[in-house]
Amino acid sequence: MIYLDYAAATPMSEKAINAMKPYLAEDFFNPSAPYLAAKKVREAYEDAKNQIAHVIGAKGNDIIMTAGATEANNLALSGASHILYLITEHDSVRNIARAHGGEEIAVDKNGIIDLKDFASKLTDDVDMVSVSLANNELGTIQPIVEISEIIKKARLSRLERGIKTPLYLHSDASQALNLVNISVARMGIDLLTINAAKVYGPKGVGALYVAHGVKLHPLTLGGGQENGLRSGTENVAGAVAFAEAIADAHEHINGNRKKYEKLSEIMRRELLDCFVEPVFLGSRKKQLANFVPVCFPGIDAERIIFKLEEQEIYLSTGAACAASKGEKSHVLKAIGLSDKEINGSLRISLGEGNNEEQVVTAAKAICKVVGEEYARING
Ligand code: PLP
């Protein structure tokens, strides 16, 4: 099998699996129970939260553990009343934002935020801005520091004019966490979503960083865990595995970036040999190193995917979730692609298990199938 869909899911690392095992059985105690064995579990949980937070330059007490990035995004945005969000955001941001006075910010042809459009929409009643650090279809990395500078100026201006509406910056770093050094303070981020499922940790585990002073509405009420923002017995095994996975990702960020730059370069070079000329999407300079979003105009990408699957090569059209609903990608629409171009778009996302040989084999297989499809369509 050649797996080229790491943006959809990563396998759990051995280290993460081993780290979580003790907390599934022998150390199963509820961390809130009063006996010593449970207190040790509580300690392990707090240590895990500290480790996770450390990677983004925060403290354990600043993060709220959640059951994945969808929940973290919902928790971040559900208390807001007028949200500006990037048109290319993941559905877990778009759908909650739309329910809370959501207004879209435009992007350019590479999927980068249109800062002029953003500044013009940043009126005094906007209380939340949500821009992901990196997009899940194009891998586009947003200029988050420039965005937070604009927000800081708007806050200052509000203060001077006696306007009390708060203004927060939320960023979904689900895809970026593997390959971008994140510091919430340096980047001026008030709320940050992270996702274990994309960094070789368990699915259904994520967290929301919450800066001091930011007021949120809890989604679940109950025993008051996670500073009252996320009631429910803590997922200790999940947090411990996330901590292990995220620490590993962080330690190897530079090496991994170089590895994926090289592999994606090889993939691009090989795809240029295809009979139908590929159009690479996004700007290479502002893109996660492991992403190769590519379009073969006029070719049906769905058919390419099925044919490659027969050869045990797995990749995706746009985002896995949009594709499974049979919807056209809102991200590719937002960067101005025509329906024909959207239909011919593939998302290749590289990861741990890939090497040069696999990339060359997969690229040749893609070219072969694209050529066959071209011949079929054009008689
Ligand atoms: N945000 C982004 C950018 C994603 O890529 C994903 C997953 O594909 C999510 C949020 C949702 O994550 P989960 O399904 O783990 O809740």
Provide the pLDDT for residue 327: 76
Q: Which position has the token pair 């051995």?
A: 14
Phi/psi for 17 (5° steps) reads -65, -45
If you measure from the C-alpha of residue 341 to the centroid of ligand 1, how many angstroms do you get, rounded to a whole number?
24
Active-site annotation, residues: 321
Residues with CB under 6 A from ligand 1: 68-70, 90, 92, 132, 136, 172, 174-175, 195, 197
Token pair in block for residue 34:
């009063």
Nearest atom, ligand 1, residue 7 CA: 5
Provide the pLDDT for residue 322: 54
Residues carrying CATH 3.90.1150.10, the chain: 2-10+253-378
Which whole-number Å values give the CA distances from 184 to 58, 275, 338, in the listed order?
Answer: 7, 45, 37
Using CA atoms in the order 207, 69, 284, 83, what is the torsion angle rounded to 10 degrees?
-100
If you measure from the C-alpha of residue 95 to the centroid of ligand 1, how many angstroms do you get, rounded to a whole number?
13
Give the CATH fold of the 2-10+253-378 domain.
Aspartate Aminotransferase, domain 1 (3.90.1150)
pTM of the model: 0.96
Provide the pLDDT for residue 307: 96
Pocket test for ligand 1, best of 70, 75, 142, 324 (most atoms within 8 A of CB): 70
If you measure from the C-alpha of residue 285 to the centroid of ligand 1, how many angstroms do you get, rounded to a whole number?
23
- Nearest-CA residue for ligand 1 atom 5 is 136
Provide the pLDDT for residue 218: 95
Cα gap 193→208, rounded to integer Å: 5
User: Using an 8 Å Cβ cutoff, are 152 and 189 in contact?
Assistant: no
Q: Any idea what DSSP says for residue 295?
A: E
User: For the packed helices 356-377 and 253-271, what is the interaxial angle rounded to 10 degrees?
Assistant: 30
Question: What are the pLDDT tens digits along the chain (379 aa)?
Answer: 999 999 999 999 999 999 999 999 999 999 999 999 999 999 999 999 999 999 999 999 999 999 999 999 999 999 999 999 999 999 999 999 999 989 999 999 999 999 999 999 999 999 999 999 999 999 999 999 999 999 999 999 999 999 999 999 999 999 999 999 999 999 999 999 999 999 999 999 999 999 999 999 999 999 999 999 999 999 999 999 999 999 999 999 999 999 999 999 999 999 999 999 999 999 999 999 999 999 999 999 999 999 999 999 999 986 555 555 667 899 999 999 999 999 999 999 999 999 999 999 999 999 999 999 999 998 7
Pocket test for ligand 1, best of 6, 71, 92 (most atoms within 8 A of CB): 92
Nearest atom, ligand 1, residue 89 CA: 3
Who's near 344: CB < 8 A, 6+ residues apart?
Answer: 295, 296, 297, 298, 299, 300, 301
Token pair in block for residue 143:
């200029």
Spell out the CATH class of 14-251: alpha beta
Q: Which position has the token pair 């699996």?
A: 17
- Nearest-CA residue for ligand 1 atom 10 is 69
Count each helix (H run) and each strand (E run) in the chain, helices first.
14, 12
Residues carrying CATH 3.40.640.10, the chain: 14-251
Pocket test for ligand 1, best of 90, 94, 330 (most atoms within 8 A of CB): 90
Provide the pLDDT for residue 318: 67
- Nearest-CA residue for ligand 1 atom 9 is 69
The distance of Cα 336 from the centroid of its chain, to the nearest Å, equals: 22
